[in-house]
Structure 1
Amino acid sequence: MSNSFHFGDSVTQYGDHNVGIIKNQGPTDPKAALRELVTAVAALRGQVPAEDREVLDESLEAIGDGAAPPSVLRRALRNISGVASLVTAGAPVVESIRRILDSFES
């Protein structure tokens, strides 16, 4: 069996035969989550074609400092997630988007 751990994962095991990874260990502050996304997108940019970089750049511009209207924010996050889901290196971006959405819901 293979385990896949990512930055921010918290794993606690008591006893035998326990399997599980606790997610949602990232920032709960929307601004911190947004900074995390910008960093993850910057790392992703070099691994996607020019047209996808354009989508990433336009989406980050639309998000701005996070004060964009909810519909604009969601559309931009969907666009970024779409690009990120096409490449293996996009997993941190998708995770950052999930944290942003979680932070706005809490």
Structure 2
Amino acid sequence: MSGDSVMQWGDHNIGIVKSEGAISPQAALEQLVGAALQLRERVSASECAVIDSSVEALRAGGDQDPGRLRRALASIAGVAALVGDVGVPVVGAANRLMEAAGLR
């Protein structure tokens, strides 16, 4: 059996709230950059270059073309996906940033 077992009594119960809530684009960017920099220590030099250029593009942010930002996110997530389990936090952070920035 999987899932939550919940018992509630009384009026005006809302149940279990499981969402983490909305995250600001800036907070999502900081999470991604932190995760990417940790991943950088575990990948090859060519993959480091991809991470570095992508982080630079994301940090520039601002008035950039949304397509450029999406490509930077896809590049970081691509490297993270290729390295396996150690890249999972980066993929999750990239997805959160895409969501927070309205790119999805």
Answer whether TM exceeds 0.5 for this pair: yes
Query: TM class, shorter-chain normalised?
Result: 0.7 to 0.9
Q: Secondary structure at the match of 2:30?
A: helix
Match of 2:25 among 4, 7, 30: 30
CA shift for structure 1 position 49: 0.4
Number of residue pairs aligned between Structure 1 and Structure 2: 90
Structure 1 unaligned spans of 5+: 1-11, 16-21
Structure 1 or 2: larger helix share? 2
TM-score by length of 1: 0.74
Structure number with greater Rg is 2
Of 43, 49, 53, the match for 1:48: 43
Counterpart in 2 of 1:93?
Answer: 90
Give the root-mean-square deviation of aligned CA atoms.
Answer: 2.5
Q: Identical aligned pairs, as a percentage?
A: 40
Query: After superposition, where does 1:55-94 map in structure 2 within 5 Å?
Result: 55-67=50-62, 68-87=64-83, 88-94=85-91
Deviation string 1:46-68 (CA, Å, 9 cap, x unpaired) is 11000000000011111124323
Deviation of 1:76 (Å) = 0.4
Give TM-score, length-normalised by structure 2: 0.75
Bigger Cα displacement from structure 2, 50-59 vs 60-69: 60-69
